[in-house]
Amino acid sequence: MIARPALLLTGVSLATGIAAWWVASHALGSPLFPSPAEIVASAKELVRTGVLLSDIAVSVKRIAIGFVLGCAVGIPLGLAMGLFRPVRAFCEPIVQFLRFVPPIAWLIPAIMWFGIGETSKILLIFYMTVFLVLINTMAGVSSIRRNTLRSAETCGVDRWQLFWWVVFPATMSYSVAGARIALGNSFAAVVGAELIAADSGIGFRIVESGKWLAMGDMFAAILILGLLGIAADRLVNELASRWLRHYLPPAEQHVG
């Protein structure tokens, strides 16, 4: 729980931000710089007509599918690369190369190959998630302490027991750390893709509003984007600390 003074400061901080925006918008008096009230009114209207919700749904769906697929491939591959030297030797050069090519660089080829629809966006999120999760998982395997494995050997584990009961849970915290970063970046990535080429989604709404100079709508979309990012981050934190509490390193545990 947040302590009272901290909560108060959070409130003051938000109020200051909104006030600063309000002052700037009134000082400029430009239609390109709508006031907070106008943005909220636009947001309400977008919610009422259902446009905003369907935009959110589209973007969130793209993120969710790409993210889940990315974890589903990244975790096993990271484990395999961490555990088996030949697999690592084979995959590492490719991984090391690709991880320095930003996802957005693939957007144009992806759109040419898969069209402007869902596939190219999902692929982008998948691509980003896979490398973050994979590299973290691999690091997790090599971070397992020697005695962790040795004590299991002393108990007479076979290969499968060692994997499922020791190696896999011991790596979990690293995989989760990678997944968290991936999810955080997913929003930026999906919106980036939707800005460049899409026919729906929050990024598309920003571009579309800009075209018609509907500045209220545009800023409403940006506002929602920030709120969604916070919500997703909170959700992952909440889920992780509820279900994965004891898989995370002690520093992140809420002891007591």
Q: Footprint of other proteins on this chain (CB under 8 A)? A: 145, 147-148, 150-157, 161, 165-166, 169-170, 172, 246-247, 250, 253, 255-256
- For other proteins, the closer CB: 176 or 182: 176
Q: How far apart are CB 153 and other proteins at their closest, in Å?
A: 4
Q: How far apart are CB 180 and other proteins at their closest, in Å?
A: 18
Distance (Å, whole) CA 96 – CA 199: 33
- For other proteins, the closer CB: 5 or 250: 250
The sign one gets for the Cα dihedral 243, 69, 130, 234 is negative
Q: How far apart are CB 242 and other proteins at their closest, in Å?
A: 14
- For other proteins, the closer CB: 49 or 151: 151
- For other proteins, the closer CB: 145 or 211: 145
Q: How far apart are CB 113 and other proteins at their closest, in Å?
A: 42
Cα angle 231, 237, 243; round to 5:
130
φ, ψ at 42 (rounded to 5°): -60, -45
Distance (Å, whole) CA 240 – CA 134: 18
Residue 63: exposed, middle, or buried by beta-carbon count in 10 A (0-12, 13-18, 19+)?
Answer: buried
